[in-house]
Amino acid sequence: MVPRPHLIFLVCWFWWAPGLPTRTSRSCPPTTSKSLYYLTCTILLCTCQPSFPRAVPSECWAILPATSTQYGRIMLLGLCGGICSGKNAVAEYLTQYQNFRLLELKNSDFPHVDGDPRLRYKNDTVPRASRLEFETAESLLDFATKRWQEHWVTTHIWDATILDRFLQRPFFLLVSVDAPVSLRWKRFVARCQRRQLEPPRLEEFVLWNDKQLYEKDVGRAVLTDRAQLRLFNSSSSLDELHTALRALNLADEQRLRPNWDQYFMELASLAAQRSNCMKRRVGCVLVREHRVISTGYNGTPRHLKNCNEGGCPRCNSGEGGGLGLSTCLCLHAEENALLEAGRERIREGVILYCDTCPCLTCTVKIAQVGISEVVYSQGYNMDKDSAAILEAAGIRLRQFSPPRNGLIYLEESGGT
Ligand SMILES: [Zn+2]
Ligand SMILES: [Zn+2]
Ligand SMILES: [Zn+2]
């Protein structure tokens, strides 16, 4: 019986060999077909040995062509988190069900804040074929850069400087995984029991945890704080975790690059940060053919005292939202954006993005200047009336809420 790794390499080799000269010149350093053949034979011989390494060296993989075309774009997910937070379980799910492959560093024991052997963890549940090993984080990153159109995951990022390098790449997403310390301790105890090691007391585990997360220079809290997506893994079983991860779909490319709606809505939200109105922050962006024509935020007109410095008596009176609007001195974000763009620059096809649904007075102005579409994120207290006016004026109205960032609970309910 031929061992399984042999079969895989033999099939790959016979399929791939005819296109060798062109394929290698595209993605690998110049090398001859003879040396490639030699390398493949070496791999085959290596796999015969009982001491076959737990992962195929990255140099061997580097010569293979990119075979997958089912993904639109490369994705490298970095998973970070405390002891027994579940990052390895997430990586395992991705390799098992979403065609990710695990990238690891050879020196995976570094850096340990404590020499205790119980803290050493080797992810042996991910099959060899789904993992690759590298000498350095740089070579890992270089490898992923060349292997476009494929999906990779790593749990081996420890250093803030290295993380900076990873975060510069458009295909990298940092995901943190966390769980209550009491639950993580229970998972750790179960792991020790499986490995026939003596489990630590809760207090001992808490001290390890504090060291691992907060120790100066090596603490991982600096990494988890920078995660673009934060998962709270309070699930009690692997099945529950898998269900939640399926619903979350970490491989969604939009997490890497916002679509146009998301992009302009986030610009509108950024404009809102400049608001000086005591009542509410609102931001607005006018867009034509995916280009910003103007931006606006709400506040008192120029040369008048800012609303948040007492400029508008109505806004500073503390009455409920929407009351006394006729006495308000603050210009709305939409008004400011429309004034900034000017009538002659607003033509057919202009979209108004606003993080809040326009009020009635803004709606009539939007209709008058000839905006084609209004996209808003949050509702206001006169949405129905505004919608009716826009509909009568032949202006499309739709709501778009950017994907939620921050903490996501991984629970059976669907992981949102
Ligand atoms: Zn105001
Ligand atoms: Zn006001
Ligand atoms: Zn308004």
In the chain, DSSP finds a helix count (H) and a strand count (E) of 15, 13
Q: What is the mean pLDDT of residues 149-171?
A: 90
Q: What residue type is 392 in one-letter code?
A: A
User: What is the share, in percent, of the chain residues with pLDDT greater than 90?
Assistant: 54
Q: Token match 């099939």: residue?
A: 11
pLDDT band at 25 (very low <50, low <70, confident <90, very high): very low
For residue 297, how far is its CA from the centre of ligand 3 (angstroms)?
10
Peptide bond just before 111 cis, omega within 30 deg: yes
Instruction: Give the Cα separation of 351 and 360 in Å (integer).
Output: 18
Q: CB within 5 A of ion ligand 1: which residues?
A: 277, 307, 312, 315, 330
pLDDT band at 30 (very low <50, low <70, confident <90, very high): very low
For residue 384, how far is its CA from the centre of ligand 2 (angstroms)?
23
Count Cβ atoms within 10 A of the Cβ of residue 167 and give its class: 0-12 exposed, 13-18 middle, 19 or more buried: middle
What is the tens place of the pLDDT at every residue in 169-183?
999 999 999 999 999
User: Ligand nearest 365 Cα, by number?
Assistant: 3
What is the tens place of the pLDDT at every residue in 352-394?
999 999 999 999 999 999 999 999 999 988 889 999 999 999 9
- Indicate whether 192 pLDDT > 70: yes
pLDDT band at 158 (very low <50, low <70, confident <90, very high): confident
For residue 330, how far is its CA from the centre of ligand 3 (angstroms)?
10
Q: What is the pLDDT of residue 231?
A: 94
What is the tens place of the pLDDT at every residue in 307-344?
999 999 999 997 766 677 788 999 999 999 999 999 88
What is the tens place of the pLDDT at every residue in 112-147?
556 777 887 776 777 777 889 999 999 999 999 988
For residue 334, how far is its CA from the centre of ligand 3 (angstroms)?
6
Q: What is the mean pLDDT of residues 213-229?
A: 86
User: Ligand nearest 278 Cα, by number?
Assistant: 1
For residue 289, how far is its CA from the centre of ligand 3 (angstroms)?
24
Helix (H, G, I), strand (E, B) or coil at 151: strand
Residue that wins the pLDDT comparison between 413 and 399: 399
Q: Token match 């060899």: residue?
A: 128
Q: What is the pLDDT of residue 63?
A: 41
Residue 127, both tokens: 């099959």
Q: How many CB atoms lie within 10 A of CB 169?
A: 14
Helix (H, G, I), strand (E, B) or coil at 173: strand
- Indicate whether 22 pLDDT > 60: no
Would you state the torsion angle of the CA atoms of residues 62, 67, 70, 76, taken in this order, to the nearest 10 degrees?
-10
Residue in 375, 341, 339, 340 with CA at minimum distance from that of residue 358: 375
User: Ligand nearest 327 Cα, by number?
Assistant: 2
Instruction: Give the Cα separation of 353 and 93 in Å (integer).
Output: 38
Phi, psi at residue 286, to the nearest 5°? -100, 135
Q: What is the largest CA-CA distance in the chain?
A: 87
For residue 336, how far is its CA from the centre of ligand 2 (angstroms)?
14
Residue in 133, 154, 151 with CA at minimum distance from that of residue 68: 151
Q: What residue type is 238 in one-letter code?
A: L
Average pLDDT score, the chain: 81
**Active-site annotation, residues:** 334
For the four alpha carbons of 298, 302, 307 and 308, in that order, the dihedral sign comes to positive
Residue in 261, 269, 290 with CA at minimum distance from that of residue 349: 290
Exposure on the CB side of residue 414, measured as CA atoms within 13 A? 1
What is the tens place of the pLDDT at every residue in 53-88?
344 444 444 444 344 334 456 789 999 999 999 999
User: Ligand nearest 312 Cα, by number?
Assistant: 2
For residue 314, how far is its CA from the centre of ligand 1 (angstroms)?
7
pLDDT band at 108 (very low <50, low <70, confident <90, very high): low
Q: What secondary structure letter does DSSP report for 154? A: E
Q: How many CB atoms lie within 10 A of CB 73?
A: 13
Instruction: Give the Cα separation of 123 and 55 in Å (integer).
Output: 11
Residue that wins the pLDDT comparison between 125 and 412: 125
Burial 120-137 (b: 16+ CB within 10 A, else e): eeebeebeeebbbbbeeb
